[in-house]
Structure 1
Amino acid sequence: MATTTLPLTAGTAAPAPTRGAQRAHTARTLPVFVLSALLATGQMYVPIPLFTALKADWNVGAGVMTWIISAFAFGYAGGFVLFGPLSDRYGHRRVLMTGMLVAAVVTLLTGLAFSAPLAVGLRIVQGLVVGSIPPAIMAYVATRITPAHRPVVTMSVATSFLAATVIAQIVSQAVVASFPWHTVFIGSAVVFAVLAVALRGVMLDDAPTGRDRPLRHSYAAIPAVLRIRPLLPMLVAGAISMAVMVGVYTGLELSGVVTGSGELLALRAGALPVMIALPLLAVPLARLSKHGQMVLGVLVAAAAMVAATFEGTHLTVLTILLAVLVGGLGIIAPAVLQTAGELGGESRAAAVSVAMFSFYVGATAGPLVAAAAAPHGFSVLAWTLAILLVAALAMTLIGLRLQRKTQPA
């Protein structure tokens, strides 16, 4: 049996994309999408440099701080599933702009939280609302960006989701060095509002959607995605990879292997050149199959993590190894997202939502893994994450085997 695109609803083939549809201006759209992706996903990571200030302000332990990260990741993952299908139904532009504006309000409220329990609750809501943004962006790219430009745009946006891991921490660390921690969230709220206005200017009007169908049809694609057997192992591998990404940076903060603010900044900034280079690799990487890209990414990341178990106490070496790790993980996410989008048919946002949901289920687990392993030393943390990457490799190979079975002879 051949692998086919996901039907719009159970038992109904998705209509083919409209020929001659109006295309967005890539040069104007891409920078705004990249900034929006950085800001949205960056909200997960901005609290990491704030741990010391938050613990002092709220008089809580380090364990509570990991929940500040996981609470957002939990809501973020739920937001993909909730709002991704609505993006297909009501229009990507409408859902994206509404999500940005509501995110501005909730982010502002999060910055005004006066206790840890309140902050955790607000972080769940913040994650849920911000979760409306990435599926709408990725679905818009898949439908309104010129096909020849899509690989580079997809890689750029997907890399931005990963780059937020580092950039958000750098910005947050710089701000909290001179201003109260509240300023980070208040500033983020302002940027959300500004980018909503920018998106209104660069995005095309929404094409006609299926709003005449019952709402349940918008969600029918989600269980259908989960029935695509070759995709499931890829989703698991993507989840594990994101757990490693979040876990390593949370663990650096908790393990104490690096204590000085300058050293932490160097570790975070060291991965930026790799992240900038990843979109340039989109074309050569396209010569590999999606599974081939994932195998390459997991092998690179696992090798870096294993090496870190022996050289994790040397700042320069650790900075290089973390950059290599991020480079490997940065290859995996676009491969999973593109595969999900290709199989999604007219329900691309729903399919991408499921893929991103899997990523941030993994992200939810990352801080918890770090909290369990980091107190025993960075070497234990690195070995734990390396083992997780071996599991991701196994899932990728299982997915490849299943794909070969479903292909016609």
Structure 2
Amino acid sequence: MSKLTTNPPWIHSNYRMISILLFFPALFILSALYITVPLIPVFAGEFHISLEQAAWSGSAFSLFFAFGCLLFGPLSDKLGRKRVMVLGLAALSLATLGTGLVSSFPALIVFRCIQGAVAATFSPVALTYAGEVFPTHRRVSAIGMISAGFLMAGILGQVWASYLNERLGWHAVFLLLAAVYGLTFLALALYLPSSPASAGSAATPGSRRTEWRSILANRYLWLCYSVAVMLLLCFVGMYTVLGSFLHNSPYELSNMQVLGIRAFGMIGMLCCFISGPCCARWGSKAVLRSGLLLAIAAMCALSLVRSIAAYTALSAVFVAGIAILVPSLISLVGDIGSKQRATATSLYTFILFAGASLGPIVSVYALDIGPPNVLPFLIFAGLLTVGLINSLFIKLPGRTA
């Protein structure tokens, strides 16, 4: 176990290397959430089940991932940030290997549940880790790197699964991803320094309950969470709606053409990397509100245009708005949570991905009740506007505005 916490002496000042070590796990671990999106018809055909049943291959992961986020953030207070992330990656590699070897749908669901649970050892813990390891002027940039990985995973996971399934079959999607997790485990175990927060300093059960009461009673954290629930809900929802009507007349795009439009959105995700410098200059709250305004404007514009080129460009603008505001929002949650940063961030991650699970549901409802290329985008714009209004009332500790 000692190798898991050994710190190479050169890496403590090499923050760029630490950022890279956190970016790639964020990219590949969260890809597991999205790899079943293009595989749902494949599972339905192979296991002779309905599409609705096959969709549980994604929902099972999401459900266990969301609840795992509530567990592993606080647990890392006791065991240490690095140890939880590294051991979680080892478990994820084994669970993903098992997923690639199954031959029945119930077994697939069981392993997807395990995957989701152990994948949650990274997201909330890595965000808390970044808040502890990086100095203040580098913190938002580091969180931006991790957030970029989270957002890019939505595209990478689908591209990875589509490409490998067509050439090697769906089992290879999981088997090769298990190998990637194994390599990532080695990289973090050998080169990632431990957090300055000492393992074993966890609160007692009584003080833990007090901590949760403090967080749940903090209205400024709940204002942040009210914004968080909108983000992936609208992100996933926008791409669900876009893919739905672009497949149909008059556009009739193929799966790969729609995937190309989604991939173009990665250009907008690069804005994660400028969020840190923007926060340093104008403040996290100003950047949060600017990102929301950009996302709202893009959603409104999407309801007005009719060309594929416009849909492609505006979807990237929307993603840019989300990419700008996510690091600033995570930074605000950590700052407001203060000494309860780990628990506050865990609850943030849970709410964020709970919103992601609501995205397809809201999209299907919106597609049923109104023009598919108008009403859904206006609904998402309205939800983000609620988030923008709530963001106006967020305050940092010790400040009046």
When normalised by structure 2's length, the TM-score is 0.87
Other-structure match for 1:187? 176
Residues in 2 aligned to 1:106 and 1:222: alpha-carbon distance in whole angstroms? 31
Secondary structure of 1:311's aligned partner: coil
Contact 1:66 1:368 in 2 (8 A): no
Contact 2:129 2:195 in 1 (8 A): no
Other-structure match for 2:302? 308
RMSD in angstroms over aligned alpha carbons?
2.7
Other-structure match for 2:392? 400
Structure 1 gap segments, 5+ residues each: 1-21
Residues in 2 aligned to 1:375 and 1:57: alpha-carbon distance in whole angstroms? 29
- Which of 111, 126, 144 does residue 100 from structure 2 map onto? 111
Matches within 5 A, 1:21-60: 23=12, 25-60=14-49
1:164 aligns with 2:153: yes
Alpha carbons of structure 1 residues 60 and 324: separation in structure 2 relative to 1, 3 Å: farther
Contact 1:46 1:169 in 2 (8 A): yes
Secondary structure of 2:281's aligned partner: coil
Other-structure match for 1:149? 138
Contact 1:88 1:350 in 2 (8 A): no
What code does the residue aligned with 1:279 have?
Answer: F
Other-structure match for 2:87? 98
Deviations 1:207-237 (A, max 9, x none): 4234475356456533322211022122122
Other-structure match for 1:83? 72
1:279 aligns with 2:273: yes
- Which of 277, 289, 292 does residue 286 from structure 2 map onto? 292
1:365 aligns with 2:354: no
Other-structure match for 1:386? 378
Deviations 1:325-352 (A, max 9, x none): 1111112321221111112223322111
1:232 aligns with 2:222: yes
What code does the residue aligned with 2:379 have?
Answer: I
Alpha carbons of structure 1 residues 212 and 250: separation in structure 2 relative to 1, 3 Å: closer
Secondary structure of 1:358's aligned partner: helix
Alpha carbons of structure 1 residues 251 and 395: separation in structure 2 relative to 1, 3 Å: closer
More off after superposition, 398-407 vs 154-163: 398-407
1:204 Cα deviation from its structure 2 partner: 1.6
Contact 1:42 1:168 in 2 (8 A): yes
1:33 Cα deviation from its structure 2 partner: 0.7
Alpha carbons of structure 1 residues 24 and 347: separation in structure 2 relative to 1, 3 Å: farther
Residues in 2 aligned to 1:183 and 1:336: alpha-carbon distance in whole angstroms? 37
Other-structure match for 2:327? 334
1:243 Cα deviation from its structure 2 partner: 0.9
Contact 1:100 1:193 in 2 (8 A): yes
Residues in 2 aligned to 1:401 and 1:211: alpha-carbon distance in whole angstroms? 34
Contact 2:241 2:372 in 1 (8 A): no
Residues in 1 aligned to 2:339 and 2:394: alpha-carbon distance in whole angstroms? 24
1:355 aligns with 2:345: no
Residues in 2 aligned to 1:170 and 1:203: alpha-carbon distance in whole angstroms? 28
Alpha carbons of structure 1 residues 162 and 282: separation in structure 2 relative to 1, 3 Å: same
- Which of 260, 263, 266 does residue 269 from structure 1 map onto? 263
Contact 1:89 1:218 in 2 (8 A): no
Deviations 1:348-406 (A, max 9, x none): 221111111110110111122234444678x5375224323322322332342363999
Residues in 1 aligned to 2:334 and 2:208: alpha-carbon distance in whole angstroms? 16
Residues in 1 aligned to 2:374 and 2:328: alpha-carbon distance in whole angstroms? 25
1:161 Cα deviation from its structure 2 partner: 0.9
Contact 1:85 1:347 in 2 (8 A): no
Aligned pair count? 386
Deviations 1:130-158 (A, max 9, x none): 11101221122111123332221111111
More off after superposition, 114-123 vs 327-336: 114-123
More off after superposition, 62-71 vs 40-49: 62-71
1:125 aligns with 2:99: no
Contact 1:69 1:364 in 2 (8 A): no
What code does the residue aligned with 1:144 have?
Answer: V
Residues in 2 aligned to 1:405 and 1:299: alpha-carbon distance in whole angstroms? 25
Residues in 1 aligned to 2:53 and 2:19: alpha-carbon distance in whole angstroms? 37
Alpha carbons of structure 1 residues 81 and 110: separation in structure 2 relative to 1, 3 Å: same
Structure 2 gap segments, 5+ residues each: 1-10
Residues in 2 aligned to 1:23 and 1:330: alpha-carbon distance in whole angstroms? 27
1:206 Cα deviation from its structure 2 partner: 5.0
What code does the residue aligned with 1:394 have?
Answer: V
1:74 aligns with 2:68: no
Residues in 2 aligned to 1:252 and 1:51: alpha-carbon distance in whole angstroms? 18
Residues in 1 aligned to 2:180 and 2:210: alpha-carbon distance in whole angstroms? 34
Contact 1:246 1:366 in 2 (8 A): yes
Alpha carbons of structure 1 residues 167 and 274: separation in structure 2 relative to 1, 3 Å: same
Contact 1:55 1:62 in 2 (8 A): yes
Other-structure match for 2:204? 214
Alpha carbons of structure 1 residues 149 and 289: separation in structure 2 relative to 1, 3 Å: closer
Secondary structure of 2:354's aligned partner: helix
More off after superposition, 254-263 vs 352-361: 254-263
What code does the residue aligned with 2:35 have?
Answer: V
